[in-house]
Structure 1
Amino acid sequence: MDDFSSLMAGFQVALSWHNVGFMVIGVVLGIIVGVLPGLGGPNGVAILLPLTFGMDPTSAIILLSSIYWGALFGGAITSILFNIPGEAWSVATTFDGYPMAVQGKAAEALTAAFTASFIGALSGVILITFVAPLVASFALRFGPAEFFAVFLLTFCSFIGMGRENRAKILASLCIGFLLAAVGLDSISGDLRMTFGSTELMRGFDFLVVVIGLFGVSEIMLTVEEGLVFKGKQAKIDLKVVLRTWAGLPRYWATLLRSAIVGMWMGVTPGGAIAASFMGYGLAKRFSRQPDSFGKGNIEGVLAPETAAHAAGTSALLPMLALGIPGSATAAVLLGGLLVWGLQPGPLLFVEQKQFVWGLIASMYLGNLAGLIIVLATVPLFAAIMRIPFSYVAPVILIVCAIGAYTISNSIFDIWLMLGFGLVGYVFKKLDYPLAPLVLALVLGDRAEDSFRQALLGSGGSLKVFAANGLVTTLVGLALFLLLWGPVMDGIGALRRRGRAVEAKAAE
C-alpha cells in the first residue's frame, strides 16, 4: 500500500506541465535517434546528458529516459522500411518486418512493432514497480559463472532451436566469435589479431558491423535486382491500425513468452540484443507455421520487439536498486545520477523516494506517449516508401556512412562498414544466416570474460559451473536446448523413414 501511495505521488510529479513537456521532447528526439543508424539510444542519451546538469534531477532523468523510450520505438522504423536496424536490438525485427513491407504490409508491421514495444516496455515497468526488492536480492547472487551460463543459454538456444542448417548456424557463430576476439584482451591486456593496426586495437564496433551487414548489403542486393523499391505501395490509415490491434490477441502466448524472456534477460542481465534473438527463436520454435518465419510472419515482428523492450526497460531495475547498470543506456543514466549527487542502490528508495517514484511513473507515461507519437508519425515515415529507390539508395548509404563515422569519428569505420556490407552480400547469396554472427559478435567477448573470470576465481576448476543450484540449472537448461533440436530432428527422420518403409511394404 505504501508503494502504491508513492507511485501515485510519483504520477503527480511526472504529470507537472514542464515534466510532460520534457517527456514529449525526449520521445521525439529518441525516435529520431532510433531511426538514424549508428547513433542509438546510449549515444543519444550520452550526447544530451551534459545539457541536463543544470536541471532538476527528476526533470533531467525524465528527459533522458524518454529519449531512451523513443529510441526503442524508432529503431523498428528503418528495420521494417529499409531492412537497416536503427538500433542493435532491432536486427531480429528485420527478419520478418522487412518481408512484410516488401509484401505491402508495412503499416501492419509497424503497428505490430510499436504495440509490441509498448507491451514489452510496460511489462518491464510493472516488474520494476512491484518486484524491485526481490529482483535486487536475486541479482546479487550473480557472479562470473552465472553470467557465462546466461550467455551459454543464449548461444545454445539459438543453435538447438534454429530451423536453418545447423552447420551454417555454427559456422556463422564461429565467425562472430572470431571477430569478437579482435582487439585488446580485457583480462590479460594483450593485443589479439590486430596485425599491427592501431585501428583494430578497439576491435570491431558492433553497430559498424550491423550497418554494413544489413544496410549496405541490402543496397547491393536491391541494386542487383534493378533498383526496384518494393515497399512503395504501402498505405497507412486508422483502419489498418485498428485491424492490426484486433488481430493481436491471438498472439497472446507469443507476447507473454517474449515479455518474460525480455524481463529475465534485462535483469540478469543478458541484454536487449540477446533477448530479441531469443524471443524470435522461441516464437519460431513454438509457432504452428515455423517455415513462414523470415517470409513476413507477424509473430517474427512481435516477439523480438516485445522481448527487446522488456529487457531494455528491466535493465534499469538493477541500476536503480543496486547501482549495477544492466545496459549501456543504464550505465549512462547511472553516471548522470552520480553527477546529480544521487547514489543508486537500496537507499535511493528511502532517501530519494520522490525522485524514484517520479521516474517510475514517467516510465508508464513515457511509453504511452511514445506509442501515441510514433503511431501519429507513421505516415510521415511511410511516405519515404513512395520515393523511387534510385533516389533513396544514395541517401541511405550516406546516412549509414555518417552513422558509422559518428561512433568513433573514424574514417576507418566507414571502410569497415563497406567491407562488412560485402560480407553480408556474400552471406545472403550463399544462404548463410547473419543473426548468429551478429549474436556472437556482440556477446562473444562478454561470454569469454565471464568464463575466464570464473576459472580464475576457481583456480581453473570447471566445477565452478556446477557450484550452486542457479548456475547448474542455467547450464543444464542450455545443454538441453542445444540437444533438443538435433534429437527432435533425429526422431523426425526415424519416423519418416519408418513411414517410408511401411509404404514400400504396403506396395
Structure 2
Amino acid sequence: MEIFALLIDGMLVALQPLNLTMIVIGVSVGLLIGAMPGLGSVNGVAILLPVTFLVPPGSAIIFLAAIYYGAMYGGAISSITLGIPGASTAVATTFDGRPLAKQGRASLALVTAALASFVGGTVANVLFTLFAPALASVALSFGPPEVFALMLLAFATFVGLGGDDIPKTIFSICFGLVLGSVGFDQISGAPRLVLFEMNGFLQGIGFLVLAIGVYGIGEMLWTIEQSRGEVTKTTPKMTVKGMASDAKEATKRGWKGTIIGSFLGFFVGVLPAAGATPGSLMSYGVAKMVSRKPESFGQGNPDGVAAPEAANNSASTGSMLPMLTLGIPGSPTTAILLGGMVIWGLVPGPRLFVDETEFVWGLIGSFYVSNMAAVLINLAFIPLFIWMLRMPFTVLAPMIFVLSIVGGYAATRDMFDIWLMVVFGIGAFFLRKFDYPLAPAVLAIVLGPIAEPTLRQSLLLSSGDPSIFFTRPVAGPITVIALILIFLPALKLLRRKRKVA
C-alpha cells in the first residue's frame, strides 16, 4: 500500500500547473521531433537540454521525459504516412504500417499505433512501479553471454521473416552484419572494411543512414517504378465514426501484438545498453512467429504495427529503470537524461529513492500523465496526418526525397552519409526487384554492433570455450530456444521437399 500512496503523491506532483504545462509542451514537441525523419528522441532531448535550465530540476527532468514519450509516439507517423522511419525505433512499424496506408487504411494504422503505444506505456509504467528494485537486480545479472544469447534469439525470430526463401534471408542477415562491422573494431580499435580508404567509413555506417536510405529513398523509387509514371494517390477517408470503427478493429486485430510488445519491449528496455530499437524489432519477429497468418505480415497486418509500437513505448519506460536505480543508462536517450540529472546535482542509484523521494515519484507519476497526454494529442492530430496522404504521389515523391536528405543530414551533418544514403536507397530498390527481404538486413545492422562485442567478450571470459552459452543458467535456455527457432524453418523446408519427392 505504501507504493500506491507514493504513486498518488507523485501523480499530484506531476499534475501541478508548471509540471503539467511542461508535460503537454514536451509531448507535443516530442511528437513533432519523432515524426521528423532522422531526428528522434536522442537529438530532441540533446537539443532541448539547455532550455530546461529555466525551470526547477524536477520539472526539467519531467519535460525531457515527456519529449522522450512524445518522440516514441511520433516515430510511427512518418513511418506510416510516408514510409520513412521517424527514428530507428519505428523501423519495424514501416513493415506493415506503410502497406496499410497504401491500401487507404492509414487511419487504422495510426489508431493502432496510438492505442498500442498507450497500452505498452501503461503496462511498462505498472511494472516499473511495482518491480523496480527486483528488475534492476535482474538487469545486473545479464553479462555478455546473456546479452549475446538474447541477440541470437532476436536473429532467430527474423530467420522466417523473408518467407520460405531461407537462403535469401540468411544472405540478407549476413549482408547487414557486414555493414554493421564497418569502422573501428570496438575491442581492438583496428579499422575494418574501410572501402577504398575513404575516411567516411572509419566512423561506421549509421543505422539511421541505412534506414532512411532503404525505407525513404528505396521505397520512393520502388513506388515510382510500380506506378510507371502514372499519377497515383491514396484516398483515405477520415470521420469520427470511422476512427471509432478503426479503434474497434485495432483492438480486435492488434491485441496479440500489443501484449507481446508491451512485455517483451519492457524486458529488453530494462537491459543496460539495449534500448527500444532491438525491443521493437524482436517484438515484430515474435508476433509474426505466433501469428496464425504469418504470410500476412508485411502486407498490412495490424499486429505488425501494434507489436513494435507497444514495444518501443514499453522499452522507453523500461530503459529509465536501470538509469534511476543503478545509474546505468538503458538507451542513448536515457544517457542524456542521466547527464542532465548529474548537472542538477541528482545522483542516480539506489539512494535516489530514499534521498529524493518527491523527485523520483513525481517523475514516475509524470510517466502516467505523459502517456495519457501523448495518446490524446496523437489521436487529435490523426486527421492532419491523413490529409498528407491525399496529395498525389508526384507531389509526395519529391517531398519524401527532400525529407530523407534533410533528416539524414540533421542526424549526422556529414555529406558522406548523404551520398551513402542515396547508394543504400538505389541498392534497396534492386534488392526488392530481385525479391530479397530487407527487414533481416536492417535487424542485423542494429543488433550486429551489440552481438559481436558480447560474443567476443564471452569467449574471452571462457578462454574460447563456446559452452559458456549453454552452461550459464540464464544464457543456456535462451541459446537453446534461439537455435531451435533458427533450424525450425530449415526442417520444415526439408519435410516439404520430401513430401514433394
Is 2:343 aligned against 1:343? Answer: no
Contact 2:46 2:336 in 1 (8 A): yes
Aligned partners of 1:367, 1:58: CA distance in 2, in Å? Answer: 18
Is 2:324 aligned against 1:324? Answer: no
Q: How far is 1:229 from its partner? A: 6.7
Contact 2:160 2:169 in 1 (8 A): no
C-alpha change, 1:228 and 1:57, in structure 2 (3 Å) is farther
Aligned partners of 1:142, 1:293: CA distance in 2, in Å? Answer: 32
C-alpha change, 1:264 and 1:484, in structure 2 (3 Å) is farther
Is 2:268 aligned against 1:265? Answer: yes
Aligned partners of 2:343, 2:138: CA distance in 1, in Å? Answer: 28
What residue number does 1:213 align with?
A: 214
What residue number does 2:13 align with?
A: 13
**How many residue pairs get matched?**
497
Contact 1:161 1:482 in 2 (8 A): no
Aligned partners of 2:402, 2:359: CA distance in 1, in Å? Answer: 42
Q: How far is 1:457 from its partner? A: 2.5
Residue 256 of structure 1, aligned match among 245, 255, 259: 259
What residue number does 1:89 align with?
A: 89
What residue number does 2:201 align with?
A: 200
1:276-315 aligned at under 5 Å gives the runs 276-315=280-319
- Counterpart of 2:243 in structure 1: which amino acid? V
Aligned partners of 1:490, 1:261: CA distance in 2, in Å? Answer: 31
Report which stretch shifted further, 447-456 or 174-183.
447-456
Q: How far is 1:378 from its partner? A: 1.1
Is 2:147 aligned against 1:147? Answer: yes
Q: How far is 1:157 from its partner? A: 2.1
Aligned partners of 2:434, 2:69: CA distance in 1, in Å? Answer: 37
Aligned partners of 1:177, 1:339: CA distance in 2, in Å? Answer: 37
1:369-422 alpha-carbon deviations (Å, 9 max, x no partner): 011001111111211112222222222211211111112211111101101110
Contact 1:117 1:306 in 2 (8 A): yes
1:72-471 aligned at under 5 Å gives the runs 72-159=72-159, 163-194=163-194, 195-224=196-225, 225-227=227-229, 231-247=233-249, 248-249=251-252, 251-269=254-272, 270-471=274-475
1:262-299 alpha-carbon deviations (Å, 9 max, x no partner): 12211235432222222222222222222222211111
Q: How far is 1:54 from its partner? A: 4.2
What residue number does 1:485 align with?
A: 489
Q: How far is 1:232 from its partner? A: 3.2
Aligned partners of 1:478, 1:65: CA distance in 2, in Å? Answer: 34
1:172-210 alpha-carbon deviations (Å, 9 max, x no partner): 111111011110111001111114222111100110111
1:32-71 alpha-carbon deviations (Å, 9 max, x no partner): 1111111111111111112213421211111111111111
Contact 2:162 2:440 in 1 (8 A): no
Contact 1:81 1:231 in 2 (8 A): no
Report which stretch shifted further, 218-227 or 15-24.
218-227
What residue number does 1:33 align with?
A: 33
1:441-489 alpha-carbon deviations (Å, 9 max, x no partner): 1111211111111222333332332342111122112112112222344
Aligned partners of 2:81, 2:231: CA distance in 1, in Å? Answer: 10
1:297-335 alpha-carbon deviations (Å, 9 max, x no partner): 111111221122222221111111111111111111111
Contact 2:38 2:212 in 1 (8 A): yes
Aligned partners of 1:159, 1:482: CA distance in 2, in Å? Answer: 6
Report which stretch shifted further, 377-386 or 159-168.
159-168
Report which stretch shifted further, 296-305 or 369-378.
296-305
TM-score by length of 1: 0.94
Aligned partners of 2:135, 2:372: CA distance in 1, in Å? Answer: 25
SS where residue 133 of structure 2 aligns? helix
Is 2:476 aligned against 1:476? Answer: no
Aligned partners of 1:450, 1:117: CA distance in 2, in Å? Answer: 30
Contact 1:116 1:255 in 2 (8 A): yes
Aligned partners of 1:420, 1:134: CA distance in 2, in Å? Answer: 43
Question: What is the CA RMSD across the aligned residues, in angstroms?
Answer: 1.8
1:329-366 alpha-carbon deviations (Å, 9 max, x no partner): 11111111111111111111111111111111111110
Report which stretch shifted further, 266-275 or 44-53.
266-275
Contact 1:101 1:230 in 2 (8 A): no
* % same residue: 45
TM-score by length of 2: 0.95
Q: How far is 1:163 from its partner? A: 3.0
Aligned partners of 1:317, 1:129: CA distance in 2, in Å? Answer: 10
